[in-house]
């Protein structure tokens, strides 16, 4: 089933211990849609400036991604410059020029309206909600956010969370959103805000899926020390997917968005969204995130083959399975 | 098969967000032997002072741990005081009184000499090597170390590493030992120092096993971007075991030693040390480490049942396995 994604399409200048790239194609919606395009049809809603040309367009076309929802506006595209010289796990932002993105008002092409899957990438929660409300036919809605929205736009964000099936954020964001430094307690609190499932991304250590409707109502007696059955009974059903130990992380930019693309793309490709499909989706998320890190920008995702994805999925299984 | 462990038996005063305990029984050899005792016979070599009484002795006796190698010396036992108030992942040390441990010269009871498994807990590498040399019958030798020995006693430590089958250390120690900030490259460098396998402990994110004799000689072409088959062919055979997402970490002291005890204890209980046994041992390590965190000191390990261990092992499987 088709996915519509709303988010940024941007230019990034990136410096890592492996080198430097100027103005490569980036943005959350770009990484997400490239990763998801290996699993299902993807449609993008974004805004770009006059600097977005045929070369960039071709990257989407090569993966059969629908770009009719990418609006061209007068001015320049969103530009980000950052580095990872001290710490590959955390970008240091040097420049953020919103440019045409500052007045982004998502417009949804009629051809997108039958999308059953909707991904709200990390943008202003007011816009996330507007797109969600405009696409009531979407059966499964997932989204991302970041510290800025959690800290300074909490009421709008909480409205978005109420309508989400899956929220994908990292450890720090989870703890910040919940105001709780214990990951399990924080996950429980976030699930009580609305999302039916929470994917917490741990960077090089993988990701954990928390889900279950009983999450918000676990009795206090079911704390640590509870037996295995009791823990399972609390309904959080945690599932941990690994990240691949990589010989060289060339550029971690977009790894989280690529994870989301692999995760949600795989789910959308399945006849039914079952717990087993969710688990495999976590692995495909890790698979696509690991590829994204291997080259600068979207280079690796652009060159990827289905065979490589299958091989790496099997590698993830070997990496984690006892038998 | 029996394990002999050499290491510290100590008193710890511990403060965590969950509370404070004064002078509880601790030390690497204590946590290790309690955890390993659920899987096989364990024999301890250590030194304690006159403050080590029948109450402490009873903790070992209750788990049928052989304490004939625990020497009683004039003076006080090793004492450590630390807190985890800001960060549950890293202890802040307030006091380290070596006391009788300062002049520890391990003596090996004759009854221990047929031990086929030997664990060298985190002590002076000169002593680790002395014990290793004095027990040539040991078929599988594992060990731990810490930043202090890596930085200031490197030549002695490198001698120990040459004779190790398995080294168990954390991320920071691995990178420090190798002088390399990439975990995979660092693991490869550490394996080249002698150990046949390396277990890198990631705290709340679990642990990774690296092994394989080809580890030191991977051609440079087999870097990131290599296909799945090529990656497997480099011989590092990584395996990732999870940690249990815990509702409450009461006290992380001894979690790493308990991991080592579960890991090595399980290996020693198996008829053969196969790659499959290594994988299950990683899970049992995580299982015992997670229990250790649930109460102060060794409280949880003392109360544990085999049924609880089995249940948690199954929980670890559910936490990670696709099917």
Tell me which chain A residues have a C-beta less than 8 angstroms from the C-beta of B323: 276
CB contact under 8 A, B184 and A276: no
Rg of chain A on CA atoms, in Å: 19
Residues of A in contact with B207 (CB under 8 A): none
Other Cβ atoms within 10 Å of B1 Cβ, number: 16
Judged against a pLDDT cut of 70, whether residue B218 lies above it is answered with no
- Cβ distance of B322 and A280 shorter than 8 Å: yes
Three-state SS string over B80-115 comes to EEEECCCCCCCCEEEEEECHHHHHCCCCCCHHHCCC
Look at A240 and B239 and tell me if their CB atoms are within 8 Å.
Answer: no
The reported pLDDT for the residue numbered A232 is 38
Contact A174, A210 (CB under 8 A): no
Q: What is the pLDDT of residue A86?
A: 80
The pLDDT tens digits of the residues spanning B62-98 come to 999 999 999 999 999 999 999 998 888 889 999 999 9
Closest residue, chain B, to A248 (C-alpha): B224
pLDDT > 80? residue B8: yes
pLDDT for res B213:
53
* Closest residue by Cα to residue A45 from A117, A105, A129, A98: A105
Measure the CA angle with vertex A76, ends A75 and A77; round to 5°: 130
- Its ipTM equals 0.88
Other residues' Cβ atoms within 10 Å of the Cβ of residue B307: 10
Distance, CA of A223 to CA of B80 (rounded, Å): 29
The token duo for B313 is 């092992």
- Closest by Cα among A75, A195, A72, A192 to A141: A195
- Token look-up 């499909």 returns A277
Q: Compute the average pLDDT of residues B270-287.
A: 96
* Rounded Cα distance, B256 and B169, in Å: 8
Q: Could you give the CA distance from residue B35 to residue B262 in angstroms, rounded to a whole number?
A: 5
Phi, psi of A157 (to 5 degrees): -65, -40
Q: Is A142 left (phi over 0), alpha (psi -120 to 50) or beta?
A: beta
Of A45-54, B143-152, B206-215, B252-261, which gets the smallest average pLDDT?
B206-215
Taking the CA of residue A276 and the nearest CA in chain B, the distance in Å comes to 7
| Tokens 């990034």, located at residue | A12
Interface test with B, best of A228, A301, A311, A315 (most B CBs within 10 A): A228
- Judge whether A190 and A156 are in contact, CB under 8 Å: no
pLDDT in tens, B155-174: 999 999 999 999 999 999 99
**Three-state secondary-structure class, residue B321:** coil
Percent of chain A with pLDDT over 90: 89
Token digits of residue B99: 């006391």
Question: Which pTM was predicted?
Answer: 0.91
Mean pLDDT over all residues of chain B?
A: 92
CB contact under 8 A, A187 and B245: yes
Kindly identify which residue of chain B lies nearest to residue A308, measuring between CA atoms.
B227
The residue written with tokens 């440019």 in the block is A99
In the beta sheet, which residues pair with residue B276? none
Enumerate the residues of chain A whose CB falls inside 8 A of the CB of residue B280: 322
Contact call for B322 and A294, based on CB within 8 A: no
- pLDDT number for residue A87: 82
Do strands B117-120 and B78-83 pair parallel, antiparallel, or not at all (unpaired)? unpaired
Residues of chain A with Cβ-Cβ distance to B279 below 8 Å are 322
Rounded CA gap, A90 and A86, in Å? 9
> What number is the average pLDDT over the span B116-133?
97
The CA distances from residue B203 to A243, B152, B171, B278, B293, in Å, are: 15, 24, 9, 19, 11
Contact at CB, A294 and B224, closer than 8 angstroms: yes
DSSP secondary-structure letter at A91? P
The token duo for A183 is 């990951």
Contact B321 A320 (CB under 8 A): yes
Q: Count the Cβ atoms, other than its own, within 10 Å of residue B183.
A: 22
Put simply, the answer to whether B247 touches A293 (Cβ < 8 Å) is no
Sign of CA dihedral B166, B168, B169, B171: positive
Q: Do A224 and B293 touch (CB under 8 A)?
A: yes
Of A124-138, A232-246, B295-309, give the lowest mean pLDDT range: A232-246
Buried-state track B275-286, b at ≥16 Cβ within 10 A, e below 16: eeebbbbbbbbb
Which residue, chain included where needed, has tokens 């579960």?
B262
Q: Give start and end residues of each alpha helix (H) in A245-292.
A: 255-269, 275-292
- Angular region, A299: left φ>0, alpha ψ -120 to 50, beta rest: alpha
CB contact under 8 A, B283 and A231: no
Give the pLDDT of residue A213.
53
Is A247 in Cβ contact with B182 (below 8 Å)?
Answer: yes
Q: Are A167 and A177 in contact (CB under 8 A)?
A: no
* DSSP state letter for B43: E
The alpha carbon of residue A182 is apart from the nearest alpha carbon of chain B, in Å, by 7
How many CB atoms within 10 Å of residue B50? 12
Q: How much is the pLDDT for A218?
A: 38
Residue in A with minimal Cα distance to B245: A184
Which residues, in sequence order, are bridge partners of residue B93? B82
* Tokens 């029984």 -> residue: B25
The residue of chain A nearest to residue B206, with distances taken between CA atoms, is A205
End-to-end CA distance of chain B: 33
Residues of A in contact with B250 (CB under 8 A): 224
Q: Directed axis angle between helix A154-162 and helix A125-134, to 10°?
A: 30
Residue contact B184–A229, C-beta within 8 A: no
Pairing of strands A140-143, A117-120: parallel
- Residues in chain A with CB shorter than 8 Å from the CB of B208 are 245
Give the pLDDT confidence of A131-188 residue by residue, as tens digits.
999 999 999 999 999 999 999 999 999 999 999 999 999 999 999 999 999 999 999 9
Mutate to test the interface with B, among A245, A284, A317 (most CBs of B within 10 A): A245
Pairing status of strand A42-48 against strand A66-72? parallel
Query: Quick count: other Cβ atoms within 10 Å of Cβ A229?
Result: 10
């Amino acid at each position: 089933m088709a996915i519509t994604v709303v988010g940024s399409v941007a230019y990034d200048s990136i410096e890592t211990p492996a080198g430097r790239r100027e103005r490569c194609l980036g943005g959350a919606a770009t990484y997400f849609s490239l990763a998801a395009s290996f699993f299902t049809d993807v449609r993008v809603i974004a805004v770009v400036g006059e600097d977005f040309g045929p070369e960039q367009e071709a990257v989407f076309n090569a993966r059969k991604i629908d770009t009719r929802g990418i609006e061209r506006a007068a001015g320049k595209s969103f530009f980000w410059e950052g580095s990872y010289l001290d710490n590959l796990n955390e970008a240091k932002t040097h420049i953020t020029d919103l440019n045409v993105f500052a007045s982004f008002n998502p417009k949804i092409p009629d051809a997108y309206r039958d999308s059953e899957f909707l991904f709200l990438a990390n943008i202003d929660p007011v816009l996330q909600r507007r797109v969600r409300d405009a696409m009531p036919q979407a059966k499964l809605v997932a989204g991302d956010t970041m510290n800025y929205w959690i800290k300074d736009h909490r009421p709008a964000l909480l409205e978005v969370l109420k309508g989400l099936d899956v929220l994908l954020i990292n450890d720090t964001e989870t703890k910040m959103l919940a105001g709780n430094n214990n990951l399990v307690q924080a996950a429980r609190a976030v699930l009580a805000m609305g999302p039916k499932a929470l994917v917490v991304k741990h960077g090089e250590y993988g990701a954990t899926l928390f889900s279950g409707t009983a999450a918000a109502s676990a009795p206090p007696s079911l704390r640590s020390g509870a037996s295995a059955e009791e823990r399972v009974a609390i309904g959080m059903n945690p599932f941990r997917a690994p990240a691949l130990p990589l010989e060289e992380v060339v550029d971690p930019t977009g790894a989280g968005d690529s994870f989301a693309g692999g995760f949600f793309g795989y789910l959308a490709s399945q006849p039914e969204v079952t717990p087993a499909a969710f688990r495999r989706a976590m692995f495909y998320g890790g698979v696509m995130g690991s590829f994204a890190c291997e080259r600068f920008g979207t280079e690796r995702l652009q060159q990827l083959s289905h065979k490589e994805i299958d091989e790496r999925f099997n590698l993830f299984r070997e990496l984690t399975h006892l038998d």
